[in-house]
Chain A
């Protein structure tokens, strides 16, 4: 029997130049170019993926790029509710910008704002592209980039004399 996740992934693959992979019955990933991500998102929404669980970025300093990951799933379709798809794309350090998916999934609002302040990726078309958690003096500093080092305290263990 064809799994629901395969149906969706095959459909995306047939229409877009995307790398798709099903890791299990319930988890899959789609990697696309950032130019195509809005179209892919619209297609996924048509298929029943109605909300974004998480928007996040992963910094790859050697390649000078940041991977943006949207985790999407469904509330209304009980079959797709079991599935979490990771929709991935890359932005470069030179141009840390991409189209916001807010118009497709309103629930991306919080995650895109957080990704903006933490990694400095600008989402075009987001209605409220401001810092969210960080204080006002964090202008131009992006804590979740690997170049941002935090000061760590060592672990101290009392040794018996």
Chain B
């Protein structure tokens, strides 16, 4: 066959002169494919030689503000970095506070925490898949991701009163109880989502274009994933069985039956598959929670007793809602420190809280999953093709506000 370009050119007497193109390229900070972040890419042809992530465009100084507010006022603040995953941000922080003030959480509240967390996980994964879709030019996935997410956001709204930034979890329990209407709506949502996941597979997961953009792109080996400190679905897609819900179970997870999807390929497709299967597992967990949730109080007795009887009658007996007891106004926890972690939608979320006995934390350290992905993304993008930069970004589900905090 003489169809090869070189042969054709030679026969015709023409030649190709390859001019190496090198240079730096700015992606962002307002690029739709970069989020609020600038990626400085050093290119050689279309191969990425080096990447510098210029993060910090959405830095909210959570850690500094944490030293200037009292413990309750910090609940809405720590949620802000990841509004689409705020239940987890809330939960990790409250668990740290609970550890310092040493309070037990009633069983029903533990189940409600897991319920809210799993609903939020589904919503967050759908958001991530939508963003990945639009990065790859698949605008249907973007519409579907945000549309289907709305179903779960609606349940969170019914449960907590807010679509996002719920501030639902408080020290000692949760703010509102589950009602029959929410259970009904959740059952409908689970049926809908199961049906919709089949459609998702047909149009997105098994789509040859999507597979071509994700398979063997941004491959992270198990060794590298451990070395770079990857977290969450990205770590599990590289063959590491690691999920805080199993390693160090919190809330109602010790009693729930669920599996952790692990893939060994480590490419963008494996990361997407892990998220899909986690949605399926979350649906399973929600079914179990609805069935098995025990009766009882949703706030620790220690705080529940402080609510004035008239307000208790009106709000708790009338609407199944907790009125914040006076203790919360500006309590002074004992001296001490706590390290807690939860499995947020994007991976492990760590809080390190140091109390000096005053009404404000002495130091609040918040390490979000996306923060730890900065290092992963920087290393992973090196050596890949420029067109795959967005594919790597999207498949990691990196979320700039969460990383900047």
Contacts and interface: CB of A to CB of B under 8 A. Distances in A.
Contacts, number: 84
A32 interface: no
Interface in A103-161: 105-107, 109-111, 118, 132-135, 143-144, 146, 148, 150, 152
Given A71-B352, A86-B339, A107-B228, A54 B235 contact: no
Given A50-B226, A56-B365, A132 B56 contact: yes
Interface stretch (B57-65, B143-151, B182-190, B380-388): B57-65
A20 interface: no
B226 A71 contact: no
A54 to B, nearest CB: 4
B350 interface: yes
Interface residues of A, number: 35
A13 interface: no
A110 B372 contact: yes
Contacts of B371: 110
B295 interface: no
Contacts of B375: 106-107, 109-110
Interface string B324-364: 00000000000000010100000010101010000000110
A125 B47 CA distance: 28
Contacts of A58: 354, 362-363
B397 interface: no
Interface stretch (B82-90, B240-248, B260-268, B277-285): B240-248
B68 interface: yes
Interface in A42-58: 50-54, 56, 58
A132 B53 CA distance: 9
A133 B67 CA distance: 19
Given A107-B228, A134-B59, A144 B64 contact: yes
Interface string B222-263: 000111110000010000111000011000000000000000
Given A27-B339, A150-B64, A51 B352 contact: no
A105 B229 CA distance: 9
Given A54-B365, A56-B352, A76 B226 contact: yes
B107 interface: no
Contacts of A75: 225-226, 235, 240, 242
A146 B63 CA distance: 12
Given A81-B242, A144-B63, A51 B226 contact: yes
B96 to A, nearest CB: 12
Contacts of B103: none
A53 B64 contact: no
B79 interface: no
Nearest to A69: B352
B61 A51 contact: no
A38 interface: no
A53 B55 contact: no
24 contacts: A27-B339, A50-B227, A51-B226, A51-B229, A52-B229, A53-B229, A53-B367, A54-B350, A54-B367, A58-B354, A58-B362, A69-B352, A76-B240, A81-B247, A82-B247, A106-B229, A106-B375, A107-B227, A133-B55, A133-B56, A135-B56, A144-B64, A150-B61, A150-B64
The 10 closest A-B pairs by CB, nearest first: A107-B229, A133-B56, A51-B229, A54-B367, A133-B59, A56-B365, A75-B226, A58-B363, A109-B375, A106-B227
Given A76-B226, A132-B55, A143-B61, 15 more contacts: A50-B227, A53-B229, A53-B350, A53-B372, A56-B352, A75-B225, A75-B242, A76-B240, A82-B247, A106-B229, A106-B375, A107-B229, A110-B375, A133-B55, A134-B59
